[in-house]
């Protein structure tokens, strides 16, 4: 067993700088509660986005290794599903405590591999931890229903696990999104194959180390690695009953189609283009800090980033103050004191974002604040883009139509609330939106008429806590959003109902003649 640097660390000792790692270790996979080095021929290099130094190599696992992981989960399932829900709850309590104990270590791994600031990475861990905490309520939410449907006859429902399930994760929340699946899939009695993003699996590796310590039996949680071919393997594996996917539209629509065609349940959260509508009657200072934080925080690499601003009426006059506020943000290595945003994930991503900024210029928009070419002194080789604001944008421009996923805010002008609603509703995506106003009736009109699944009223990033569910809509989810992540719908996704109707009456009361008509229980 060769642990990677992050795994070799402990709750109190872990990397806290972007210093070059002298001997980067390959990332192992995790099967039967063991970290195992892969015999893969192909490895994917993972670089620190702030320096582009090599951190680790992630294996493109062989089919034999992937099959072994599926078989491990399959073997573990019968005993795990028969473990009492109270026993599973106890393991979840321990898992929660261990995540809290290792909070900084998890965050440090995220800053190193993904690039977001340490404070932001701590938020990434916390939002996942909250899902694990909510999963501790399993005994309550796994209860079925019972009704006496006729004399001596009752119908009851049981919520049962599916079997082996798989989760495929994106790069932008390396702890939170694995934690949308690990706690809920397992506390409901399933066994899990987790595929973290090949661009930053470190946090997921620490999470499974903690899962083992918490007492999950061998094979209940396994981690596999790789890119497209690993995903294809999971989509086609007959023993996998359900797929949870979070990521972009290209991969997600394909995964939804192929997984569903193979008879699996698939839940898939996809890309976004989240609009903020700002009304002249809002609290201007609150709005300015909210939009700057929500557009540029995490270098804009959040599926709920507010990347598009719809300025109603005279709010367009606030643009220079907005730019001033954005300029004050410190772009730096995520471990640096005072850093507000870090680099974007890769040189390719930086190039794509810069080309979308250039296309806006070409199409007639104005680059009010240009973050291209910025480099913090200490980190000249990172994937840097400072906050960028594009104004005079129209809906036909590429910078409006495409998800930029970088620290870029595009701004459009309208005259009325109705026009703002119409513009937002015409957009294909429907993940999140926000309105800034002091008027209750205005907020209510927006809330009722807007076609986005998560709405903030003076709240810039309205990601629901785990007692609710993550409810994007339109092109931001596959399959019409029938299955959403966490909350009660998340429990429903990972379980199937069994409905039992039983008759318990004395032999004398039972008719001797066969009843051939459709039973009505009446
Ligand atoms: P991505 O789609 O490139 O990758 C996600 C996962 O799919 C990875 O594990 C990757 O290995 C795999 N993958 C990628 N392309 C594939 C293909 N062609 N075939 C099979 N598998 C493939 O996404 P990303 O760049 O890691 O993450 C950013 C995207 O995720 C953004 O679009 C963002 O909006 C979205 N996202 C959405 C939510 C949400 O809840 N709606 C949350 C976070 C991120």
Residue 492 CA to ligand 1 center (angstroms) comes to 23
- With cut-offs at 50, 70 and 90, classify the pLDDT of residue 6: low
Helix runs in 388-477, H state only: 398-401, 417-426, 440-449
What ipTM does this complex have? 0.99
Average pLDDT, the chain: 96
pLDDT tens profile 59-109? 999 999 999 999 999 999 999 999 999 999 999 999 999 999 999 999 999
Residue 86: burial class (beta carbons within 10 Å; 0-12, 13-18, 19+): exposed
Protein residues whose CB sits closer than 6 Å to any atom of ligand 1: 168-173, 195, 197-198, 227-228, 231, 246-248, 250-251, 254, 269-272, 303, 403, 405, 431, 470, 472, 476
pTM of the model: 0.97
What mean pLDDT is predicted for residues 223-240?
98
Q: What is the pLDDT of residue 3?
A: 46
Percent of the chain whose predicted confidence (pLDDT) is above 70? 98
Q: Is 253 left (phi over 0), alpha (psi -120 to 50) or beta?
A: alpha
pLDDT tens profile 175-218? 999 999 999 999 999 999 999 999 999 999 999 999 999 999 99
Quick one: which atom of ligand 1 is closest to the CA of 172?
27
CB 455 within 8 A of CB 434: yes
Q: What is the pLDDT of residue 521?
A: 74
Q: Is 220 helix (H, G, I), strand (E, B) or coil?
A: coil
Quick one: which atom of ligand 1 is closest to the CA of 197?
9
pLDDT tens profile 293-305? 999 999 999 999 9
Pocket test for ligand 1, best of 247, 254, 349 (most atoms within 8 A of CB): 247
Sign of CA dihedral 465, 468, 474, 478: positive
- With cut-offs at 50, 70 and 90, classify the pLDDT of residue 280: very high
CB 32 within 8 A of CB 218: yes
- With cut-offs at 50, 70 and 90, classify the pLDDT of residue 509: low
Q: How many CB atoms lie within 10 A of CB 188?
A: 25
pLDDT at 506 > cutoff 90: no
Pocket test for ligand 1, best of 44, 251, 406 (most atoms within 8 A of CB): 251
Tokens for 297, please give them: 């925080």
pLDDT tens profile 345-371? 999 999 999 999 999 999 999 999 999
- With cut-offs at 50, 70 and 90, classify the pLDDT of residue 505: confident
- Beta pairing, strands 164-168 & 240-246: parallel
Which residues, 6+ apart, have CB-to-CB distance to 31 below 8 Å?
65, 68, 69, 72, 219, 222, 223
State how far the Cα of 427 lies from the Cα of 431, in Å rounded to an integer: 11
Residue 348 CA to ligand 1 center (angstroms) comes to 15
Quick one: which atom of ligand 1 is closest to the CA of 477?
41
Pocket test for ligand 1, best of 248, 427, 468, 489 (most atoms within 8 A of CB): 248
Nearest CA to ligand 1 atom 17: 251
Residue 272 CA to ligand 1 center (angstroms) comes to 12
Residue 249 CA to ligand 1 center (angstroms) comes to 7
Sheet architecture: strand order including 240-246: 34-36, 29-31, 221-223, 191-195, 164-168, 240-246, 265-269
Residue 139 CA to ligand 1 center (angstroms) comes to 33
pLDDT at 508 > cutoff 70: no
- In 3D, which of 4, 105, 115, 5 has the Cα closest to residue 52? 115
Tokens for 267, please give them: 């839940």
Quick one: which atom of ligand 1 is closest to the CA of 405?
31
Q: How many CB atoms lie within 10 A of CB 63?
A: 11
Residue 170 CA to ligand 1 center (angstroms) comes to 4
Q: What letter would DSSP give residue 169?
A: -
Please identify every residue annotated as catalytic: 303
pLDDT at 337 > cutoff 70: yes
DSSP-assigned states of every residue in 72-109: HHHHHHHHHHTS-HHHHHHHHHHHHHHHHHTHHHHHHH
pLDDT at 267 > cutoff 70: yes
- In 3D, which of 436, 435, 477, 427 has the Cα closest to residue 453? 477
pLDDT tens profile 375-405? 999 999 999 999 999 999 999 999 999 999 9
Residue 302 CA to ligand 1 center (angstroms) comes to 12
Q: How many CB atoms lie within 10 A of CB 236?
A: 13
- With cut-offs at 50, 70 and 90, classify the pLDDT of residue 2: very low
Q: How many CB atoms lie within 10 A of CB 200?
A: 28
Rg from Cα positions in the chain: 25
Nearest CA to ligand 1 atom 42: 303
pLDDT at 507 > cutoff 80: no
Between helix 103-113 and helix 202-214 the angle, nearest 10°, is 160
Quick one: which atom of ligand 1 is closest to the CA of 170?
26
What mean pLDDT is predicted for residues 15-38?
95
Quick one: which atom of ligand 1 is closest to the CA of 226?
11
What mean pLDDT is predicted for residues 21-45?
97
- In 3D, which of 101, 100, 118 has the Cα closest to residue 109? 118
């Amino acid at each position: 067993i060769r642990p990677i640097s992050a795994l070799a660390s402990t709750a109190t000792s872990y990397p806290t700088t972007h210093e070059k790692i002298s001997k980067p270790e390959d990332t192992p996979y995790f099967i039967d509660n063991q970290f195992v080095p892969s015999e893969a021929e192909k490895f994917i290099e993972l670089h620190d986005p702030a320096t582009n130094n090599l951190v680790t190599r992630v294996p493109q696992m062989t089919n034999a290794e992937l099959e072994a992981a599926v078989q491990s989960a399959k073997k573990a399932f019968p005993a795990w599903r028969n473990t009492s829900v109270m026993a599973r709850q106890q393991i979840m309590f321990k898992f929660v405590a261990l995540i809290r104990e290792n909070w900084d270590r998890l965050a440090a791994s995220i800053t190193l591999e993904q690039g977001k600031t340490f404070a932001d990475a701590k938020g990434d861990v916390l939002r996942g931890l909250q899902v694990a905490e909510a999963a501790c309520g399993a005994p309550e939410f796994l209860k079925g229903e019972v009704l006496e449907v006729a004399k001596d006859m009752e119908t009851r429902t049981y919520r049962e696990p599916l079997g082996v399930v798989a989760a495929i994760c994106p790069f932008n929340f390396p702890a939170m999104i694995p934690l949308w699946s690990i706690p809920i899939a397992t506390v409901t009695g399933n066994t899990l194959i987790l595929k973290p993003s090949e661009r930053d699996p470190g946090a997921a590796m620490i999470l499974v180390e903690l899962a083992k310590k918490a007492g999950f039996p061998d094979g209940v949680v396994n981690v596999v690695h790789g890119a497209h071919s690993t995903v294809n393997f999971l989509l086609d594996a007959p023993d996998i009953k359900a797929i949870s996917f979070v990521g972009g539209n290209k991969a997600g629509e394909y995964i939804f189609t192929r997984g569903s065609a193979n008879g699996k349940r698939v839940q898939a959260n996809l890309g976004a283009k989240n609009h903020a509508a700002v009304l002249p009657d809002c609290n201007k200072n609150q709005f300015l800090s909210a939009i700057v934080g929500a557009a540029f925080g995490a270098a804009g690499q959040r599926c709920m980033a507010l990347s598009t601003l719809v300025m109603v009426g005279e709010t367009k006059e606030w643009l220079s103050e907005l730019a001033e506020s954005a300029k004050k943000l410190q772009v730096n290595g995520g471990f640096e004191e005072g850093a507000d945003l870090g680099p974007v994930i890769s040189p390719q991503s930086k190039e794509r974002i810069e080309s979308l900024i250039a296309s806006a210029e070409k199409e007639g928009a104005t680059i009010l604040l240009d973050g291209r070419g910025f480099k913090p002194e200490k980190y000249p080789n990172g994937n840097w883009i400072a906050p960028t604001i594009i104004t005079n944008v129209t809906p036909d421009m590429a910078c409006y139509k495409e998800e930029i996923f970088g620290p870029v805010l595009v701004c459009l002008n309208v005259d009325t609330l109705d026009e703002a609603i119409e513009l937002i509703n015409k957009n294909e995506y429907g993940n999140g939106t926000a309105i800034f106003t002091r008027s209750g009736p205005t907020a209510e009109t927006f809330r009722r008429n807007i076609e986005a699944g998560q709405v903030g009223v003076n709240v810039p990033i309205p990601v629901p806590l785990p007692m609710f569910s993550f409810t994007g809509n339109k092109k931001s989810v596959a399959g019409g959003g029938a299955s959403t992540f966490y909350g009660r719908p998340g429990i429903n996704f990972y379980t199937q109902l069994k409905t039992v109707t039983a008759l318990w009456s004395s032999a004398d009361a039972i008719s001797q003649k066969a009843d051939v008509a459709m039973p009505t229980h009446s």
